[in-house]
Amino acid sequence: MSYEAFALQQATGIIYSMSACILKAYKYRLYPNTEQQEFFAKSFGCARFVWNKMLHDKIEHYEKTKTTLKNTPAQYKKEFEWLKEVGSLALANVQLDLQKAFQSFFKSSFGFPKFKRKGIKDSYTTNNQKGTVAVTSRSIKLPKIGLIKAKIDREINGLIKSATVSKTPAGRYFVSVLVETIAQPLPKTNSSVGIDLGITDFIVLSDKTEVVNPKFLAKYEKKLAREQKILAKRREVAKAANRKLSESRNYQKQRLKVAKVYEKIANCRKNFLHKTSFNLIKNHDVIVIEDLNVKGMVKNRRLAKAISDSSWSEFATMLTYKADWYGKQLVKIDRWFPSSKTCSGCGHVLGRGELTLAIRQWQCPSCNAVLDRDYNASINILNEGLRYLLSITKTLGARELAQSICITSDGVQRTPSSLCIT
What is the DSSP secondary-structure string of 9-23?
HHHH-PPPP--EEEE
384, 336 contact by CB (below 8 A)? no
Instruction: List Cα–Cα distances, 122 to 45, 90, 338, in angstroms.
Output: 8, 13, 43
CA-angle at 99, arms to 97 and 105, nearest 5°: 105
Rounded-to-integer distance, Cα 227 and Cα 257, Å = 7
**Half-sphere exposure (Cβ direction) of 78: Cα atoms closer than 13 Å:** 3
pLDDT tens per residue, the chain (422 residues)? 555 455 545 444 444 445 678 999 999 999 999 999 999 999 999 999 999 999 999 999 999 999 989 999 999 999 999 999 999 999 999 999 999 999 999 888 788 999 999 988 899 999 999 899 999 999 999 999 999 999 999 999 899 999 999 999 999 999 999 999 998 899 999 999 999 999 889 999 999 999 999 999 999 999 999 999 999 999 999 999 999 998 999 999 999 999 999 999 999 999 999 999 999 999 999 999 999 888 888 888 888 999 899 999 999 999 999 999 999 999 999 888 888 888 988 888 888 888 888 888 888 888 988 988 899 999 999 999 999 888 877 665 544 544 444 433 343 333 333 333 32
Tell me, what's the pLDDT at 296? Answer: 86
How crowded is residue 166: how many other Cβ atoms within 10 Å of its Cβ? Answer: 18
Please give the helix or strand (H or E) that residue 363 lies within, else none: strand 361-363
Tell me, what's the pLDDT at 395? Answer: 66
Rounded-to-integer distance, Cα 360 and Cα 340, Å = 10
Burial (CB count <10 Å: 0-12, 13-18, 19+), residue 360: exposed
88, 65 contact by CB (below 8 A)? no
Tell me, what's the pLDDT at 19? Answer: 67
Rounded-to-integer distance, Cα 159 and Cα 179, Å = 5
Tell me, what's the pLDDT at 393? Answer: 72
Tell me, what's the pLDDT at 9? Answer: 55
Tell me, what's the pLDDT at 295? Answer: 85
204, 380 contact by CB (below 8 A)? no
Tell me, what's the pLDDT at 415? Answer: 37
- Which of 98, 111, 103 shows the shortest CA–CA distance to 49? 98
Rounded-to-integer distance, Cα 176 and Cα 310, Å = 25
24, 155 contact by CB (below 8 A)? no
Q: Which residues pair with 332 in a beta bridge?
A: 289
What is the DSSP secondary-structure string of 138-182?
SEEEETTTEEEEEE--S---SEEEEEEEEE-TTS-EEEEEEEEEE
Q: Where are the domains positioned within the chain?
A: 24-183, 188-349+379-395
143, 165 contact by CB (below 8 A)? no
227, 261 contact by CB (below 8 A)? yes
b/e code 255-292 from CB counts within 10 Å (16+ = b): bebbbbbbbbbeeebeebbeebbeebbebbbbbbbbee
Tell me, what's the pLDDT at 405? Answer: 45
Rounded-to-integer distance, Cα 54 and Cα 52, Å = 6
Q: Which residues are catalytic?
A: 196, 290, 374
Q: How many residues does the chain have?
A: 422
The pTM (predicted TM-score) of the whole model is: 0.84
Residue type, 122: D
Phi and psi for 347 in degrees, rounded to 5? 90, 5
Rounded-to-integer distance, Cα 3 and Cα 143, Å = 43
Tell me, what's the pLDDT at 61? Answer: 94
